[in-house]
Structure 1
Amino acid sequence: MTQPADPREPRTLDVTAGTAQLLTRITSQLGTQLTRLHLNAANGTRRPMSTPHLPTLVAVAHGSRDPRALTTVNALLDRVRELRPSLPVRLGHIELNAPLLDHTLAGLDGGDAVLVPLLLSRGYHVKHDLPGAAATAPHLRVRVAAPLGPHPLLVEALHARLTEAGWRTAHGTSRSTGVVLAAAGSRDPDSAADTRRTAGLLSERLGGVPVVPAYASAASPTVPEAVRALTARGRHRIAVASYFTAPGLFATRSAAAAPWLAAAPLGAHAALARLVLHRYDQALTTTPVPAGSSQLVPA
């Protein structure tokens, strides 16, 4: 690549760079621009990056009795803070772990907050619990960001976890391999549609290997059922990709059903941290809403 004559000018993106590299650069550039030029809720004017009133990013985790879940979520948020040091970041849980979301919101002094669900698809929690929590905080102007999935950055994280578990590029050309994408599950059809979309993206990333979505609860097929379905198609080397943000009961059960490789949950992967900020930045492009109200940002 030829170096620009003026070193102050940005370099042209290498067209041979991989999808993950391009997404990383674009997301980083977008986040920087939006942080420097976020909208003033009162009059629509733009404030510089030095403002002390950046909307607080409130990451919303589900909660788990598995102690590894809280450790993992905190590690993920540490990565988010490293990527955007000036951004105030807080954590709230829907259930099972402290701090609970309503306590986190009550502890904010006022101003703007963006709830970023650490959830991978649309469902009851995103559509009802988060807007409901926002409505209980009349001292805040709250936006509710879209869930993390589906998104290509999630697929990069899934691929990385499979690789860590032993998946190799050559497996993508084998007629004996298959993957089960193990997700939590929901009765909401939008949630299943989101998971199917991720399964399709992961299949493309793996070179066309069949990827079957499966669920730990509330939907079918289950992980064992998906394994049997792939086996019936002649796929005897079946890996389970863990479509969970953090370790927990569902992730453990899903991994136990893997007849071959079992990938770890997404965890504190760098791509996941970038995606959290991407969803936050998307929410910032919407018009602030009155105190006590909420706005769900489409994915």
Structure 2
Amino acid sequence: MTTLVACSHGTRSPVGRRVVAEIVEAVRVELPDVAVLPTFVDVQEPEVGGVVAGVTGPLVVVPLLLSRGYHTKVDIARAVGSRADAVQTAPLGPHPLMSEVLLARLAETVGPAGVRPGDHLVLAAAGSSEAVAVVDVEATAADLRGRVSVPVSVGFAAGATPRIADAVAQARADGAERVVCLSYVLAPGHFADVVRGAGADLTTAPLGADPRIARIVADRFTAAVAASAAG
């Protein structure tokens, strides 16, 4: 049986830790016959390299990260590369279900009236100096543009430009009557605080332990297992 190693960034926030634990538990519900092991690339233990080294039999590492970046290219890739029977999947995003989660958080924030003409959405991500991370966030924004009738731009808390506050200011300069930041972070913590402080009129809650995130993890895992079986 192939083991699923769910690898998140790690956080000092007790709420953030609880959200990740809830996601891992939801994955276990989605895949009741699969061993699901949580691990981290920073801040928390157990560290991904040690977990991967200790698993008996084949394994699939699913990054509980919203885009590719340093941790997928270096930390997780190094751990997976240490053994021939380990596979790394794509991160959580971009994925159509991730767009659904973002729009669910948006609906909770704007209420029954919904998005209105004159609104502008800023997809507010943590950010990375890796170009592939920007590509992945832009892909999620592109998917959102196909689902809503108002402009969608992107902003980053760190590592890339434009910064979230600058994206909010630009939206207003372009004539937006109301700017809504979509918090493209999993859980409360430092980056969620940066999004909330960027000056938007409204800011959505972090993605949280939405059941659709567990389904993304399950999709990534089952696709990787099927690909390995096919040779």
**Superposition TM-score, scaled by structure 1 size:** 0.73
Please state if 1:145 is matched with 2:89.
yes
**Residue number in structure 2 paired with 1:66:** 13
**1:106-145 to 2 correspondence within 5 Å?**
106-108=53-55, 110-136=56-82, 138=83, 141-145=85-89
Matched-pair contact (CA < 8 Å) for 1:181–1:214: yes
* Whole-angstrom distance in 2 between the partners of 1:168 and 1:187: 38
Matched-pair contact (CA < 8 Å) for 1:239–1:258: no
Give the CA deviation at 1:247.
2.0
Matched-pair contact (CA < 8 Å) for 1:55–1:111: yes
Count of matched residue pairs: 229
AA of the residue aligned to 1:118: L
- Within the candidate set 102, 106, 128, 2:49 is matched to 102
Q: Cα RMSD between the aligned structures?
A: 1.6
* Whole-angstrom distance in 1 between the partners of 2:169 and 2:129: 23
Which has the higher Rg, Structure 1 or Structure 2? 1
Give the CA deviation at 1:165.
1.7
Give the CA deviation at 1:153.
0.3
**Structure 2 residue matching 1:285: 3-state secondary structure:** helix
Deviations 1:211-269 (A, max 9, x none): 11110101001111000110011102111101112222011111122432211111210
**1:238-249 to 2 correspondence within 5 Å?**
238-249=179-190
* Whole-angstrom distance in 2 between the partners of 1:187 and 1:72: 26
Give the CA deviation at 1:119.
1.0
Matched-pair contact (CA < 8 Å) for 2:4–2:61: yes
- Structure 2: gaps of 5 or more residues: none
**Residue number in structure 1 paired with 2:26:** 79
**Residue number in structure 2 paired with 1:88:** 35
* Whole-angstrom distance in 1 between the partners of 2:79 and 2:199: 37
Deviations 1:194-222 (A, max 9, x none): 1111112112222x211111101010011
**Residue number in structure 1 paired with 2:133:** 191
**Superposition TM-score, scaled by structure 2 size:** 0.93
Go from structure 1 to structure 2 and tell me whether the alpha carbon gap of 1:195 and 1:167 turns closer, same or farther (over 3 Å shift).
Answer: farther
* Whole-angstrom distance in 2 between the partners of 1:105 and 1:169: 48
* Whole-angstrom distance in 1 between the partners of 2:80 and 2:152: 36
Deviations 1:9-47 (A, max 9, x none): xxxxxxxxxxxxxxxxxxxxxxxxxxxxxxxxxxxxxxx
Give the CA deviation at 1:67.
1.7
Give the CA deviation at 1:169.
5.8
Matched-pair contact (CA < 8 Å) for 2:107–2:114: no
Matched-pair contact (CA < 8 Å) for 1:59–1:90: yes
Please state if 1:171 is matched with 2:115.
yes
Give the CA deviation at 1:285.
2.5
* Whole-angstrom distance in 2 between the partners of 1:131 and 1:65: 24
**Residue number in structure 2 paired with 1:157:** 101
AA of the residue aligned to 2:34: L
Please state if 1:254 is matched with 2:198.
no
* Whole-angstrom distance in 1 between the partners of 2:179 and 2:30: 35
**Structure 1 residue matching 2:150: 3-state secondary structure:** coil
* Whole-angstrom distance in 2 between the partners of 1:181 and 1:167: 19
Go from structure 1 to structure 2 and tell me whether the alpha carbon gap of 1:169 and 1:198 turns closer, same or farther (over 3 Å shift).
Answer: farther
* Whole-angstrom distance in 1 between the partners of 2:92 and 2:40: 16
